[in-house]
């Protein structure tokens, strides 16, 4: 089988992150120091080699970037300052754009202006539609509580949510299918028995829920906690507003011990903690993985932070009967939420939430199949 | 005829914006101030890409010759030649004034740059106008550092019947080479080559050997340096000590032996090693009980020679006058504790190559048997002859070399000495498993590649891949590395790890450089005046460098460079004159000389 070489691949990749990949002299330090790298899935050096050689097609089916959690050990000890950790991050961005068949992802990644334009366009669209369709003059009720459902009925918002969910799910699922084709189907070296797909699926679920693999990166427990707290908060928020909006967005004030209240607090706390942790880190550049920030990283955390922040504002204004302030915060809340979801879920950084567990799943499938094929001694990754 | 010559000066853009550049404005105004110059173009003032336009500018100013000045002025010369030809002038009358010559740019020496420019404008070779003054030379030579480079240079000069002062900081000459067990690629015993030379130095009538001394200050000018030397209190009379060693037998104070790289203990009154030259004892003030507390004096009582040991001796300074100085101050090895991932200093059986060199030496801590390092009763890490021998040993290359986090350069000797150590292990423990982890195998010298092949045939496992970490696992050491040729990660349990530490300039190289007025390169080694053509000379007149202090090199290269440095010194002694520094010639003198020799005369 022939391998196609793209000599300009390095330049293509430049838009997705910072690249010092010409520096690498292949000493193998990064692969050996990596706590996650193992036989069969050797990274990051192999990726650097593929980039230097311009093996574009091979990289498209490369699952290893999703197995890396960027502890930064490789970049810290790299004798050439080639930054292999950032290379893996860059490849994750690139692979996201490879899986995305619409081509939108690549545009958002390569151009800060394009991403910003889309965000501002959606932001303006939400605000305009609220200004046109919503009534900002509804007063608070007799008990001094602002009734949001009168301003924005949960049924209407939920159905709009479902339309958004349907569209984005379509894109995300087709992207995942694309990933599956590139990683599994096109890899002729391994044949995966059908039953294996079911045996290993728990690994993907377990990993998605715990992100325990990240704990293998030594000394990154705060990082793991912050990341997991942020992720779990976001997932809960997502489930609440997509499937249980009628329960979540009520005008009835529940007591503090009620799940609706403390779930809301948990989500807010997670988002605020996580986003501030990452913002401080990225600003101070105090860890290897924060040393380089792509524009998608910044837009992502800032939007997430604003979502949590406007959420808190809604809560405070509503309880204090400040009707107009509540409606304005609610409008802003949606106006940052929608661009965040639209640009990031299927086309940019947020999709790693799906690709990471799937990447691990595919890797484990391959490993198990290879083990069966060659009776190889390869330990499964957890 | 002469008044027809009209010179234009063009400054290249390369000078502008260069971070280390000279001041362009100052050079431009200097050129404008010279009456021989018709017009001065600044980089922006002339479009040089089109020879046609260039030729018309030359024609309208009626120029007959052009001076191209700048850092890389040679690049512009062809364009100027073509333009001159198009303008009907001699295309050969383009003169380049390159400020990179004589390192004017690097040294940011404005006067030197102006002198280069003026000589180009006046069409006089710089060397003709800037003839350094010569002064009478004192035929004595100072050599700083008593390693193999200093020894070799001393012998070369002394054998030519000229007097040498050889100043060595420690109690003996010999340096690092004396610590080595074998040399590569011939596997000669290092001591067998070195000690006869050491003895020759010690006995040579023309060599004034000053061990346990340090050069404190240098003043004066080339050919006539006044050197202040600190004679550290040896506390043992060099003339009367018979080297019997009875003092050391009874001495109660202990300190780690410098010669054995800390792997053994020595007493406070000690001889660095049995073959030391001079073969006389000395007292280490830092560990001596008497010096520290005023009580003890056992050595004085036991010494069979009357008044040989004087515990109250003080440091003294002497001044000597020399004509030339050879700097051969050598190197230090990379401090392996800096690379924490290899566990040096944490695990007793992770050794540096220099420690292993002592361990494997027949005169070393275990008498040449390779043994584990363990703890003694006091908790010191020592090699004990009673221990078992390790069954598997890993050698890790490039510790502190070729690494952006430490030293970027290749230390040049580590690949070869690691192969040599692998051979020595195989020689002493034939069934031991020896593996070498390397990035690139640099077997560059005569017979080195053959040596590499030979070691491979001896059954040493040579693995391409830099080791990432060494960890402890069930009393063994776990070496984790990628095997790049095989495409897999290997985790190997070994009994002992040897770190091939790189070479570094000495910690106090900056002080030496300041004292002697030497320059250092970006890695901290002493800068030679021309790497290719003049690797022993420095920018200072009558000061030459030899050996490792100029950059990493192996023993043959060190010896060759030491001989070359000696030949430089002998050259000036035989001529009876030595050139002064270029930078000491005043600009006015150069200008006066240049105008005198110049074919271009301005009619007053």
User: What was the ipTM of the complex prediction?
Assistant: 0.84
Of A26, A33, A77, nearest to B484 by CB-CB distance is A26
For the ranges A162-166, A333-337, B201-205, the maximum mean pLDDT occurs at B201-205
- Please report, for residues B85, B245, B303, the alpha-carbon distance to residue B281 in angstroms, rounded to integers and kept in the order given: 77, 8, 11
Q: Give tens-digit pLDDT for B159-190.
A: 999 999 999 999 999 999 999 999 999 999 99
**Tokens representing A368?**
């198990």
Contacting residues of A for B402, CB less than 8 Å apart: 79
> What is the distance between the alpha carbons of residues B553 and A157, in angstroms, rounded to a whole number?
76
Rounded CA-CA distance B344/A376 in Å is 35
Closest by Cβ to B468, choosing from A25, A26, A29: A29
Does residue A309 register a pLDDT over 50?
A: yes
Record: contact A31-B482, CB cut-off 8 A: yes
Question: Which of B403, B469, B484 lies nearest to residue A28, judging by beta carbons?
Answer: B484
Element (H, E) at B596: helix B587-597
Residues of A with CB under 8 A from a CB of B: 25-33, 37-39, 42, 45, 77-81
User: What was the pLDDT predicted at A212?
Assistant: 85
Nearest CA in chain A to B492: A32
* A25, A28, A80 member nearest B482 (Cβ): A28
The whole-angstrom separation of Cα B57 and Cα A109 is 51
| Least confident interval from B23-37, B347-361, B401-415, B425-439 | B23-37
The single-letter DSSP state of residue B390 is P
Mean pLDDT score, A131-139: 85
| Nearest C-alpha neighbor of A84 from the set B343, B482, B407, B522 | B482
pLDDT at A376 exceeding the cut of 80 = no
pLDDT at B469: 94
> For residue B1, what pLDDT is reported?
39
Q: Does residue A382 carry a pLDDT above 50?
A: no
Whether A28 sits inside 8 A of B481 (CB atoms) is yes
Helix, strand and coil percent figures for chain A, each rounded to 5: 70, 0, 30
Contacts of A72 in chain B (CB under 8 A): none
Q: What is the mean pLDDT of chain B?
A: 91
Chain centroid offset of residue B86 CA: 51
For chain A, give the mean pLDDT. Answer: 88
Nearest alpha carbon to residue A44 among A18, A61, A26: A26
Q: What is the pLDDT of residue B138?
A: 94
Q: State residue B320's pLDDT score.
A: 96
DSSP code string of B148-187? HHHHHHHHHHHHTT--EEEE-SSSSS-GGGGG-SB-TTT-
- pLDDT over 50 at A62, yes or no: yes
pLDDT category of residue B236 using cuts at 50, 70 and 90: very high
Alpha-carbon distance A73 to nearest alpha carbon in chain B (angstroms): 10
The verdict on a CB contact (< 8 Å) between A25 and B468 is no
Evaluate whether B204 touches B162 at the Cβ level (below 8 Å): no
Q: Which two tokens stand for residue B222?
A: 């080339």
Question: Tell me, what's the pLDDT at B453?
Answer: 96
Closest CB from B440, B467, B482 relative to A45: B482
> A173-207, pLDDT tens digit by residue?
999 999 999 999 988 888 888 888 888 888 889 88
pLDDT of residue A380: 52
Please state, in angstroms and as integers, the Cα–Cα distance from residue A294 to each residue in A15, A66, B576, following that order: 9, 18, 68
CB pair distance less than 8 Å for A80 and B482? no
SS3 label, residue A102: coil
For residue B482, the 8-state DSSP code is E
Rounded Cα distance, A17 and A296, in Å:
10
Angle CA(B135)–CA(B136)–CA(B141) in degrees, nearest 5? 110
Contact A26 B489 (CB under 8 A): no
Distance from C-alpha of B84 to C-alpha of B78, rounded to nearest angstrom: 10
**pLDDT (tens digit, 9 = 90+) per residue, A78-114?**
999 899 999 999 999 999 999 999 999 999 999 999 9
Confidence at residue A377, expressed as pLDDT on a 0 to 100 scale: 54
Q: Which residue of B has its CA nearest to A34?
A: B468
Determine how many CB atoms are found less than 10 A away from the CB of residue B107: 16
Which has the higher per-residue pLDDT, B400 or B586? B400
Q: Is the bond preceding B185 in cis, omega lying within 30 degrees of 0?
A: yes
How far apart are alpha carbons B222 and A135 in whole angstroms? 94
Rounded-to-integer distance, Cα A67 and Cα A65, Å: 5
Question: Residue B99, exposed/middle/buried by CB under 10 A (0-12, 13-18, 19+)?
Answer: buried
* Interface of chain B toward chain A, CB-CB under 8 angstroms: 341, 398, 402-405, 439-440, 464-469, 480-484, 487-489
pLDDT above 70: residue B228: yes
Is the model's pLDDT at B398 over the cut of 70? yes
Domains and CATH numbers, chain B: 2-132+584-597 (3.40.50), 133-232+315-330+506-523+539-580 (3.50.50.60), 234-313 (no CATH), 332-504 (3.50.50.60)
Matching residue, tokens 């390092």 = B373
The region of weakest confidence among A186-190, B106-110, B351-355, B476-480 is: B106-110
Determine whether the interchain pair B468/A32 forms a contact, defined as Cβ–Cβ distance below 8 Å: yes
Enter the tokens of residue B227.
């050197």
Does this model's pTM top 0.90?
A: no
CA of A65 vs chain B CAs: smallest distance (Å)? 17
The yes-or-no verdict on residue B558 having pLDDT over 90 is: yes
Q: Which residue of chain A is at minimal alpha-carbon distance from B339? A: A77
Cα B194 to Cα B180: distance, rounded to the nearest angstrom: 10
A311, A245, A218, A329: which is closest to A272 by C-alpha? A311
Nearest Cα neighbor of B428 from B499, B362, B354 is B362
B466 and A25 in contact by Cβ < 8 A? no
Domains of chain A: 9-99 (1.10.1060.10), 104-360 (no CATH)
pLDDT tops 90 at residue A249: no
| CA–CA distances in Å: residue B280 to residues A343, B290, B478 | 81, 20, 45
* Mutation site, A20, A27, A77, A80, interface B, largest B CB count within 10 A: A27
B505/B496 Cα distance (integer angstroms): 28
Please report how the helices A323-344 and A154-180 are oriented relative to each other, as an axis angle in degrees rounded to 10. Answer: 20
DSSP label of A131: H
pLDDT in tens, A2-38: 788 998 888 889 889 887 788 999 999 999 999 999 8
Closest CA of chain B from A228, distance in Å: 29
Say if the Cβ atoms of B469 and A33 lie within 8 Å: yes
Cα B375 to Cα B21: distance, rounded to the nearest angstrom: 57
Instruction: State the sign of the Cα–Cα–Cα–Cα dihedral A233, A235, A238, A240.
Output: negative
> Averaged over B544-558, what is the pLDDT?
96
- What's the whole-number mean pLDDT along residues B439-450? 94
**Identity of the residue in B405, B439, B488 whose CB atom sits nearest the CB atom of A25:** B439
Residue of B nearest to A81 (CA): B404
| Contact call for A29 and B484, based on CB within 8 A | no
What residues have CB less than 8 Å from A38, skipping those under 6 apart? Answer: A378, A379, A381, B489
C-beta neighbour count of B10 within 10 angstroms:
26
Omega within 30 of 0 (cis) for the link into B278: yes
- A313 CB-near residues (< 8 Å, 6+ apart): A325, A329, A332, A333
Is-contact B343 B498, C-beta < 8 A?
Answer: no
Structure tokens at A35: 């706590």
Note the pLDDT tens digit of each residue in B315-367: 999 999 999 999 999 999 999 999 999 999 999 999 999 999 999 999 999 99
Residues A295 and A15 sit within 8 Å (Cβ to Cβ): no
Give A276-315 as a DSSP string.
HHHHHHHHHT-SGGGSS--HHHHHHHHHHHHHHHHHHHHH
């Amino acid at each position: 089988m022939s391998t196609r070489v793209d000599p300009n691949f390095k330049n293509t990749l430049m838009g997705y992150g910072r690249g010092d990949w010409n520096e690498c002299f292949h000493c193998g330090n990064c692969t050996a120091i990596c706590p996650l790298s193992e036989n069969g899935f050797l990274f990051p050096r192999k990726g650097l080699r593929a980039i230097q050689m311009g093996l574009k097609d091979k990289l498209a089916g490369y699952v290893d970037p999703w197995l890396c959690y960027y502890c930064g050990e490789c970049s810290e000890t790299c004798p050439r300052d080639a930054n292999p950790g950032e290379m893996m991050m860059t490849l994750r961005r690139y692979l996201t754009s490879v899986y995305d068949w619409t081509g939108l992802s690549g545009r958002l990644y390569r151009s800060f202006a394009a991403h910003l334009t889309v965000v501002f366009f959606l932001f303006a669209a939400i605000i305009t539609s609220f200004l046109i369709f919503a009534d900002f003059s509804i007063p608070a009720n007799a008990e001094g509580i602002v009734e949001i459902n009168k301003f924005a009925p949960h049924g209407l918002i939920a159905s709009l949510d479902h339309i958004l969910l349907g569209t984005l799910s379509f894109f995300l699922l087709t992207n995942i299918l694309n990933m599956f084709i590139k990683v599994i189907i096109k890899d002729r070296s391994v044949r995966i028995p059908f039953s294996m797909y079911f045996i290993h699926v728990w690994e993907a679920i377990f990993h998605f829920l715990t992100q325990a693999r990240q704990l293998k990166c030594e000394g990154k427990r705060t990082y793991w906690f912050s990341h997991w707290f942020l992720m779990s908060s976001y997932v809960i928020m997502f489930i609440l507003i997509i499937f249980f909006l009628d329960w979540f967005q009520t005008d009835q004030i529940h007591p503090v011990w009620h799940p609706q209240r403390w779930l809301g607090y948990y989500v807010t706390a997670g988002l605020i903690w996580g986003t501030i942790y990452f913002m401080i880190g990225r600003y101070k550049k105090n860890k290897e993985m924060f040393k380089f920030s792509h524009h998608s990283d910044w837009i992502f955390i800032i939007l997430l932070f604003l979502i949590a922040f406007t959420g808190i504002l809604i809560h405070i204004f509503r309880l204090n009967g400040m009707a107009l302030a509540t409606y304005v915060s609610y409008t802003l809340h949606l106006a940052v939420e929608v661009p965040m979801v639209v640009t990031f879920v299927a086309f940019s950084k947020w999709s790693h939430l799906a690709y990471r567990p799937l990447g691990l799943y595919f890797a484990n499938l391959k490993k198990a199949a290879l083990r069966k094929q060659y009776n190889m001694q390869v330990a499964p990754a957890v | 005829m002469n008044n027809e010559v009209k010179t234009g000066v063009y400054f290249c853009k390369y000078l502008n914006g260069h971070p280390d550049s000279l001041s362009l404005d100052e050079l431009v105004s200097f050129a404008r101030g010279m009456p021989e110059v018709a017009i001065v173009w600044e980089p922006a003032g002339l479009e040089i890409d089109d020879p046609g336009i260039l030729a018309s500018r030359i024609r309208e100013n009626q120029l007959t010759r052009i001076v191209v000045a700048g850092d890389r002025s040679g690049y512009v010369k062809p364009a100027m030649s073509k333009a001159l030809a198009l303008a009907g002038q001699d295309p050969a009358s383009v003169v380049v004034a390159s400020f990179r010559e004589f390192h004017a740019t690097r040294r940011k020496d404005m006067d030197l740059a102006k002198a280069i420019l003026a000589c180009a404008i006046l069409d006089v070779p710089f060397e003709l106008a800037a003839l350094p003054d010569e002064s009478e030379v004192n035929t004595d030579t100072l050599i700083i550092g008593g390693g193999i480079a200093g020894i070799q240079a001393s012998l070369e000069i002394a054998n030519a019947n000229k007097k040498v002062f050889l100043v060595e900081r420690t109690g003996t000459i010999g340096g690092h080479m004396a610590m080595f067990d074998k040399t590569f690629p011939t596997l000669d015993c290092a001591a067998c080559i070195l000690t006869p030379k050491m003895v020759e130095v010690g006995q040579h009538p023309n060599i004034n050997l000053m061990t346990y001394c340090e050069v404190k200050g240098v003043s004066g000018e080339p050919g006539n340096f006044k050197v202040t030397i600190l004679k550290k209190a040896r506390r043992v009379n060099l003339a009367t000590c018979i080297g019997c060693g009875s003092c050391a037998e009874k001495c109660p104070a202990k300190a780690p032996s410098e010669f054995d790289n800390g792997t053994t203990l020595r007493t406070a009154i000690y001889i660095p090693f049995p073959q030391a030259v001079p073969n006389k004892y000395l007292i280490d003030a830092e560990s001596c009980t008497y010096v520290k507390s005023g009580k003890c004096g056992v050595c004085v009582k036991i010494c069979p020679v009357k008044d040989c040991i004087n515990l109250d001796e003080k440091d003294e300074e002497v001044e000597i006058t020399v004509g030339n100085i050879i700097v051969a101050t050598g190197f230090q090895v990379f401090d392996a504790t800096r690379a924490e991932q290899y566990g040096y200093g944490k695990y007793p059986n992770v050794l540096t190559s220099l420690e292993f060199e002592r361990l494997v030496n027949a005169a070393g801590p275990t008498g040449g048997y390779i043994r584990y390092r363990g703890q003694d009763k006091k908790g010191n890490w020592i090699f004990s002859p009673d221990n078992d021998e390790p069954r598997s040993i890993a050698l890790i290359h490039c510790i502190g070399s070729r690494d952006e986090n430490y030293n970027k350069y290749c230390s040049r000797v580590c690949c070869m000495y690691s192969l040599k150590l692998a051979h020595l292990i195989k020689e002493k423990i034939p069934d031991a498993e020896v593996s070498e982890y390397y990035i690139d195998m640099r077997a560059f010298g005569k017979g080195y590649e053959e040596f590499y092949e030979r070691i491979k045939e001896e059954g040493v496992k040579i693995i391409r891949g830099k080791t990432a970490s060494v960890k402890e696992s069930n009393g063994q050491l776990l070496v984790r590395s990628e095997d790049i040729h095989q495409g897999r990660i290997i985790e190997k349990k070994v009994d002992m790890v040897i770190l091939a530490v790189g070479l570094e300039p000495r910690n106090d190289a900056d002080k030496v450089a300041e004292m002697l007025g030497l320059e250092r390169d970006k890695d901290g080694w002493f800068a030679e005046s021309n790497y290719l053509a003049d690797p022993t000379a420095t920018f200072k007149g009558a000061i030459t460098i030899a050996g490792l202090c100029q950059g990493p090199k192996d023993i043959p290269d060190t010896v060759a460079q030491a001989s070359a440095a000696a030949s430089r010194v002998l050259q000036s002694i035989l001529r009876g004159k030595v050139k002064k520094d270029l930078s000491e010639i005043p600009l006015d003198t150069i200008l006066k000389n240049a105008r005198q020799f110049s074919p271009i005369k301005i009619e007053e």
